[in-house]
Every structure is written in C-alpha cells, then in structure tokens.
Amino acid sequence: MTAGEATRRTEVRAGVVQWFDGAARDLPWRAPDRTAWGVLVSEVMLQQTPVVRVEPAWHAWLEQWPTPADLAAAPTADVLRAWGRLGYPRRALRLQECARKVVERHGGVVPRTEAELLALPGVGEYTAAAVLAFAYGKRSVVVDTNVRRVLARAVGGSALPAPSYTAAERRLATALAPEGDADAARWAAASMELGALVCTAKAPKCGACPVAGLCAWRRAGSPPDAHADKRRTQAWAGTDRQARGRVMAELRQASEPVDRALLASLWHDPAQLDRAIAGLVEDGLAEQDDVGRLHLPK
C-alpha cells in the first residue's frame, strides 16, 4: 500500500466518523444507560430485520425480560409469541438458549471476551464483535453487510462486495479499525450507519456522502456490480417459508392446541404445508400432542 493510499484511508475513516457525530440515529441500544444484554438482544433482532420493526419489539422484550436470567426462565411459548413477526423465529429460540448459557456459565452477566461470546448459542463472529464494541467499548472488528458495502466502494472501488465474506475483506476491515478501544468502537458504529443510511445497496445517496470525494468506486466511474450474476434474490410468496409463517402466526394467537384440519385451511398446497409443519417441529418451533394437534413449545 502506498503512502497516498494510506493517507486516503485515514481520511475516509475520519470523514465517516465526523459525519456520524452529527448524523447518528437516536437508537435505544446506543443510549448511555444501555446494558450489554440489551445490545446483544438488539443485534440478534437486527439480523435480517429492519430497525423500524425491531425498535418497538426491542422495547417490549426488554421490559418483559430485562436480564438474561429473566429470559432463561420464561416459557418458550411466551418467547415465540413476543418475537411476533420479526421473522426467522429460530433466532428467538437461540436467544433464549444463549440467555440460559449466560446464566449457567457467567452468573447472568454477558461475557466480555470474544472467546466466551463465541461459545454462546447463536453468537457468531459479527455478533460477538458488536457486543464487544457497542456494549463494552472494546476494540473489535465489526463487519456487517453495511460495513462490507462501505469498504467495497470507498476503499475497494467495487459497486458491492463479493457474495460471501472474504479473507481479503477481513484483512482490510482489520487494517482500518483504529487501535484505541473508543476510536475503534466509534468507527464501527459510524461505518455501519453510513451503509445503512447513505451508502445503501440500491440508489446510494452519494450526494450526501461525507467521503464521496475520496470514494474509490466513484473515482473509477461507478462501475456496475461485478458479481451481479452470482447474487440470488430470495422469493417469499408461495414458498415453504411463507407457509411456515402462516402456521406460526396461527400458533402464536391460539390459546389451545390447533387441529391439523384448521391448519389445512391456511395453505393451498397440502404437501407444502406438511413440509412446513414438519420443519417447524424439527426446528423446535412447534410440538404435536398425542392426537396430532400443534402448539408452541412449552
């Protein structure tokens, strides 16, 4: 890397952080009184779910289960009902499993090391790094889809990052993270925010970008996505996922086990409905009683 490139990277980082100081959203999991548990819950909820849907659910969740011990002791059916329509309800099960391990292994306190966080159910590389940075203010390399997109464009000169996270991206993200704890945590939050609000996947707001003049992608003439043919969009209508969602919605609102005949009225394809129900049972999201009626796990 040349001296000029090193300087440009430093300027990109400084520009993004300065922008964040004035543009950061007032999110509850960023508040001074946030807890590590609140941060962890927010990160699990925000996986594949937009902020506008997560924020009210997060408030309700923390009001009901303000500590890992509270969630660990909760009936699983209540947990799945509270998850509501956030999507991918297996995340709710993993979050409760995580809470139980936090209680068993760490006395109910969310751990402060990467190794201990990664050993928790449902906590991967990104979530562990996010908790370290945003809950404990420690240096970590926080890379989500928003950060990947910012780095791909501003530093790499690509329209979008590769379909899968690469070793080269990890090296770049590590090199860009400041050495100091507070500075690294601030950069992590700032780069994520820029990707979420300005450097979006579709129709990026380059006119509002604080580092547009430094952006390698714009300097290269904003070339198209080199990996467009490898990206797949996930359908929803008519899929097994939609069928599962219909069944889960019925189970969440039911006070008694639901008969299969009622479930059959929810979906047009009996074979697909059978697959959806079998998948829910296999994933631990539903249970069947002795006469084949379905209910949420207890």
Report the C-alpha gap between 232 and 215 in whole angstroms. 27
Q: Are 94 and 44 in contact (CB under 8 A)?
A: yes
Q: Which amino acid is at 238?
A: G
Scanning 107-239, the segments in alpha helix (DSSP H) are: 114-118, 125-134, 145-151, 167-176, 181-197, 216-219
State the DSSP code for 28.
G
State the DSSP code for 56.
H
Report the C-alpha gap between 72 and 96 in whole angstroms. 6
Respond yes or no: is residue 43 known to be catalytic. Answer: yes
Report the C-alpha gap between 165 and 149 in whole angstroms. 11
3-state secondary structure at position 287: strand
Centroid of chain to Cα 51? 10
Q: Are 68 and 38 in contact (CB under 8 A)?
A: no
Active-site residue identified among 5, 11, 43, 250: 43
Helix (H) or strand (E) holding 68: helix 68-72
Residues with catalytic annotation? 43
